Structure 1
Amino acid sequence: MTATVRRTRLSDEREAELYQAVIDLVREVGYEAMTMDAVAARSRSSKATLYRQWEGKPKLVAAAMRHSRPPVADDIDTGSLRGDLHELARTIGEGAEQDTVFMSAVGHAAHSNADLAAALREMLIDPELARLAVLLGRAVERGEVREDAPAIEFFAHTMVGALMARKVLEDSFADADYLTRYIDAVVLPAFGVRV
């Protein structure tokens, strides 16, 4: 399924301001307590415009998330799986602190809000999983990873798990250095790649 992109009458700059207001509000009060009224007030927009463009809070939040951070696996192709994963670690690690706080708030809400979960899957999760599959597919084509390697199925889980677990277990964010070490110690060996 392809993520739908709504055409807005807002300028790129104005749309960016609106998305930033959404992200700031979610960080401040959480997804559940954020209201369309608050977004309208913070972004100096009309509530009618917000509903006309995004239909409601779930799609607006998912669109703000997609806008605030480029896809993490987009255009990564260093010629080796290790190089690709280190670049992925750098990209993820750059926004680890802000992304982990925001994703925790939204992820928690998605458990009880089917519309939010569907919007996140359509606009963010499915496209990113497809990019990661391409990245791993190139490693298979190069002969770095066996096509039937069991770890392929769990790759995205291990990366997301590292982000969340470090904050919970160590009260630290999974920065690029941590993720690079994690990739070398856990992910690559799971694929049968010697470091």
Structure 2
Amino acid sequence: MAKCVVSRRSRITPEREAELYEAVLGLLRDVGYDALTMDAVAGRTRSSKATLYRQWGSKPQLVARALRHGKPVDVSEIDTGSLRGDFHEIVARSDDARMERDSALLRGLARAVHENPDLLQALRELLIEPEMTGLDVVVQRAIDRGEVAADNPALKYMSHMLVGAFIAHPLIQDRSPDQAFLGDYIDSVVLPALGV
């Protein structure tokens, strides 16, 4: 699959870029991905569509970058000295209100990615792969410290376990995941599966 490459020719300040991303996320929450248009983003942000396309290239790229910008933490930078500590610190850096908003956004995007291969590709490149790479760094440090066996068969399913909890909790419990649930899930499911 070819990588999406966006040429950034215009000069948008970081503050203006953050404002645009917040507007995109607000529109996603309000109308969903399918109804979100570049016209609507331009209107809400007092921008021109030409600027949006020149800066981001496409709606999928803009949405994926807005989601990436909204991530509260770079997982790979967390190093508390233990895998349990790292996982709990990841959870602690996102408050319950943010998790509720993010969970609603992800549920809304779940259907859209099946119908929009460009969106799926953009999300994989800009959001999913960096997160998985960050988790790999955290887990590799745990392996290097001797906390996790390098040949543990659960390692290849770790990201599935973590993402699965985030997605399944609203379906099963009819509420968004929160810090208490995720902390307990890490201690009860993820760490035992990894032999910690």
TM-based fold match above 0.5: yes
Q: Is the 8 A contact 1:36 1:50 kept in 2?
A: yes
Q: Is the 8 A contact 2:86 2:138 kept in 1?
A: yes
1:107 to 73, 91, 110: 110
TM-score scaled by structure 1?
0.92
Deviation, structure 1 residue 71? 4.0
Deviation, structure 1 residue 6? 5.3
Alignment of 1:86-105 (within 5 A): 86-94=88-96, 95-105=98-108
| Closer/same/farther in 2, CA of residues 150 and 110 from structure 1, 3 Å limit | same
Amino acid in structure 2 at the alignment position of 1:103: L
Aligned to 2:178: 175
Aligned to 1:32: 34
Aligned to 2:17: 15
Amino acid in structure 1 at the alignment position of 2:171: V
Aligned to 1:69: 71
Provide Cα deviations, 1:124-143, integer angstroms capped at 9, x if missing partner: 11111111001000111111
2:138 to 132, 135, 138: 135
Amino acid in structure 2 at the alignment position of 1:190: A
- Between the aligned partners of 2:92 and 2:5, the Cα distance in structure 1 is 28
Aligned to 2:163: 160
Deviation, structure 1 residue 89? 2.0
Deviation, structure 1 residue 9? 1.2
Alignment of 1:112-127 (within 5 A): 112-127=115-130
Amino acid in structure 2 at the alignment position of 1:51: Y
Deviation, structure 1 residue 51? 0.7
Deviation, structure 1 residue 177? 1.1
Aligned residue pairs total 193
TM-score scaled by structure 2?
0.92
Counting aligned pairs with the same residue, the percent is 52
Moved over 4 A (4+): 1-6
Provide Cα deviations, 1:42-62, integer angstroms capped at 9, x if missing partner: 110000111111111000001
- Between the aligned partners of 1:87 and 1:54, the Cα distance in structure 2 is 32
Deviation, structure 1 residue 30? 0.5
Asked if residue 48 in structure 1 is aligned to residue 39 in structure 2, the reply is: no
Q: Is the 8 A contact 1:63 1:123 kept in 2?
A: yes
Deviation, structure 1 residue 83? 0.7
Q: Is the 8 A contact 1:80 1:139 kept in 2?
A: yes
- Between the aligned partners of 1:92 and 1:159, the Cα distance in structure 2 is 15
- Between the aligned partners of 2:73 and 2:125, the Cα distance in structure 1 is 14
| Closer/same/farther in 2, CA of residues 133 and 186 from structure 1, 3 Å limit | same
Q: Is the 8 A contact 1:3 1:123 kept in 2?
A: no
